[in-house]
Structure 1
Amino acid sequence: MGYRLAIVGATGNVGREILNILDERGFPADEVVALASRRSQGTEVAYGDKTLKTQFLDTFDFSQSDICLMSAGGEVSKKWSPKIAAAGCVVIDNSSAFRYDPDVPLIVPEVNADAVAMFSRKNIIANPNCSTAQLVVALKPLHDHAKIKRIVVSTYQSVSGAGKEGMDELFKQSRAVFVADAVEVNKFTKRIAFNVIPHIDVFMEDGSTKEEWKVMAETKKILDPKIKVTCTAVRVPVFIGHSEAVNIEFENPITADEARAILREAPGCLVVDKHEDGGYTTPYESAGEDATYISRIREDQTLENGLNIWVVADNLRKGAALNAVQIAELLVNRGLLKGKKAA
């Protein structure tokens, strides 16, 4: 039995990656429709060995679709997701529009799969922030073992997290540096080529950025509201792959060796942790991969029950597209879709 899928924002980085992953994983789809704004209407996108021509979002009939994978930004989602959901199509939204709604489940399948059943309240499921997704995949098995009290996270986020414009700006600025041209700054607040910027999203009243707040709020909603979280989010001149240095304080004792053993058995995790040159994973190696990589696992001698870990993942895959497709698979595998439109 196959399902009918609509991909909103199919011409963007995440939309194209969703189409790739649906094909790679053999999702049971009888029909996949690519949707975009009027500006991108008619653009061709690849889906396996097929080529899809994007249709206009505003005139599409969602009552004939089972699942909508929404990757067109928060404003588009706020306008369209409730309408699509009301038409009987389940929305899996990649934006932040509904993540903090108590009636919308925020899902990372390796962490809180059971919460997906709550989708029926609004027919909408939220995908977390890219940094949060990989973080909670690494934290969940450790939390189950020793109960986390507090985490301190520093993120090193690639420019693809800012979309195609971010990737283009890093490329153009890097080229300009090498040929001694003027470096133009448009997408980011400062030059990103050969630089790091401790600023992602808008500033909030307490001095945190919205990106840092997202990591704090989403980790609590997905994992445990009692965990204390503080974060510093930094944009770095990397095209794909987010990295995180994470300091964890536990209620109960846990050793580095225990943590390695636990993470090696945990779903979605891949431990690469050798105490030698190159015995760790960088964002370059994570690009194009599904796993959340954990390296540099070591005990923090300044805490009674503390660990430090290094977490890396492809932000376009686990941080967005892959997680969205995994949520769709949850709906199908757990029989949560009525299947009234299934072919």
Structure 2
Amino acid sequence: MGFKVAVAGATGNVGREMLNILSERGFPADEVVALASSRSVGTEVSYGDKTLTVKNLENYDFAGTDICLMSAGGAVSLKYSPKIAAQGCVVIDNSSSWRYDSEVPLIVPEVNPDAIAGFRKKNIIANPNCSTAQLVVALKPLHDKAKIKRIVVSTYQSVSGAGKEGMDELFNQTRAVFVADPIESKKFTKRIAFNVIPHIDSFMEDGYTKEEWKVLAETKKMLDPAIKVTCTAVRVPVFIGHSESVNIEFENEITADEARDILRDAPGCQVIDKHENGGYITPYECAGEDATYISRIREDATVENGLNMWIVSDNLRKGAALNAIQIAELLVNRGLLKTA
């Protein structure tokens, strides 16, 4: 007997991707329900070769539902996730609302699967920030080998991380440049077409943005609280795929060749690293793919035991939808979830 799965926020970029990946991976679901706000009720979304009609999240009865994949935003998750969890349905939440709660596991299955054991405290499991997810997938096997002391990350994040409005704004502004129309900025603080913006999320008192703080806090929670992390998050005019330039300082010696060999064998990683024109991965090439791609692995001579690398992944998949479904698969494969 299979499971009953609800996808909340099914009409959004990530929600639609969740439905696609549930079908692609053959998740053992007897029934999948698409949920969204009242304004989207009646909208049709695809699930494999089926079409689902969206129902209202606000009055949906979760009794008998095993898993809710929540991708409806932080405010909605704060309001509804505890109510859903209280009905016996496990919530896997894609927002930042529960990531820093000590009683809620924050999970990337390739990195810290054992942390899932505590999920029953609140019946909620958190999905990490999109840029953190791909980062820790690449860092974990290297940390196991040589123990990471410090990380300096610069992110190059696609507009799909800001939702459909972000993608529409890049498209409309790009078109406006070519036809000499006025350029309007609504979603982003400055023009994004043919530009980069060193600002994602709100500013904090110390000058960092919340997006940058998320990378720090989540890496520490999932990987090792002793690691020092600093980050600069940048929005770039790319539709799908986040990229990261990462400088790593290790406690123990590790060479670039050793790192390449370790990452080639690591779960979820794919190394594309030839020292030639085009011998690296770009966000355009990673769109629609599940792997976290690593390129430009090289030693940093300015610090002892230092490496540089380039990390790219599809933020809608590994950064969000895929990781959530891998968490659901982890629950099933470890026998932690029984059908309602």
Query: What TM-score comes out, normalization by structure 2 length?
Result: 1.00
Show the 5 A alignment for 1:139-178. 139-178=139-178
Task: Give the Cα–Cα distance (whole angstroms) in 2 for the partners of residues 330 and 338 of structure 1.
Answer: 13
* SS of equivalent to 1:5: strand
Partners of 2:292 and 2:58 in 1: CA distance: 36
Cα offset, 1:338, TM superposition = 2.8
How many positions carry a matched residue from both structures?
Answer: 340
Return the letter of the residue paired with 2:152. V
Measured in 1, the distance between the counterparts of 2:180 and 2:36 equals: 38
Distance 1:309 1:336 in 2: 36
Shift of 1:58: 1.2
Matched, 1:317 2:317: yes
Partner-residue secondary structure (3-state), 1:111: coil
Letter aligned with residue 84 of structure 1:
I
What is the CA distance between 1:64 and its match in structure 2? 1.5
Q: Report the Cα distance in structure 1 between the residues aligned to 2:315 and 2:338, rounded to whole angstroms.
A: 31
Provide the C-alpha distance between the structure 2 equivalents of 1:39 and 1:210, rounded to a whole number of angstroms.
Answer: 29
CA distance in structure 1 between the aligned counterparts of 2:88 and 2:199, rounded to whole angstroms: 39
Name 2:116's counterpart in structure 1. Answer: 116
Q: Offset at 1:28?
A: 0.2
Q: Give the equivalent residue in structure 2 for 1:82.
A: 82
Distance 1:136 1:157 in 2: 16
* Cα distance in 1, alignment partners of residues 72 and 223 from structure 2: 26
Give the whole-Å Cα distance in 2 for the aligned partners of 1:290 and 1:267. Answer: 11
- Alpha-carbon deviations, 1:129-167, whole Å to 9, x = none? 000000000000000000000000000000000000000
Cα distance, 1:59 vs structure 2: 1.3
Per-residue deviation, residues 3-45 of structure 1 (Å, max 9, x unmatched):
0001000000000000000000000000000000001011000
1:180-215 deviation line (CA, Å, top 9, x unaligned): 111001000000000000000000000000000000
Q: Which residue of 2 aligns with 1:199?
A: 199
Q: Which residue of 2 aligns with 1:209?
A: 209
- In structure 2, what is the equivalent of residue 186 of structure 1? 186
Rounded to whole Å, the distance in 1 between the matches of 2:58 and 2:145 is: 48
CA distance, structure 2, for counterparts of residue 220 and residue 147 of structure 1: 13
Partner of 1:95: 95
CA distance in 1, matches of 2:13, 2:116: 25
State the match for 2:285 in structure 1: 285
Rounded to whole Å, the distance in 1 between the matches of 2:307 and 2:7 is 40
What corresponds to 2:254 in structure 1?
A: 254
For 2:132 and 2:224, how far apart are their aligned partners in 1? 13
Residue type of the alignment partner of 2:213: W
**1:209, 1:76 → 2: CA distance?**
22
Q: How far has the Cα of 1:81 moved from its partner?
A: 0.3
Structure 2 alignment gaps of length 5 or more: none
AA partner of residue 100 (structure 1): Y
Taking the aligned partners of 1:24 and 1:106, their CA distance within structure 2 comes to 24
Counterpart for residue 46 of structure 2: 46
Query: With structure 1 as the length reference, what TM-score do the two structures score?
Result: 0.99
Deviation at 1:289, TM superposition (A): 0.0
Structure 1 segments of 4+ aligned residues over 6 angstroms from their partners: none
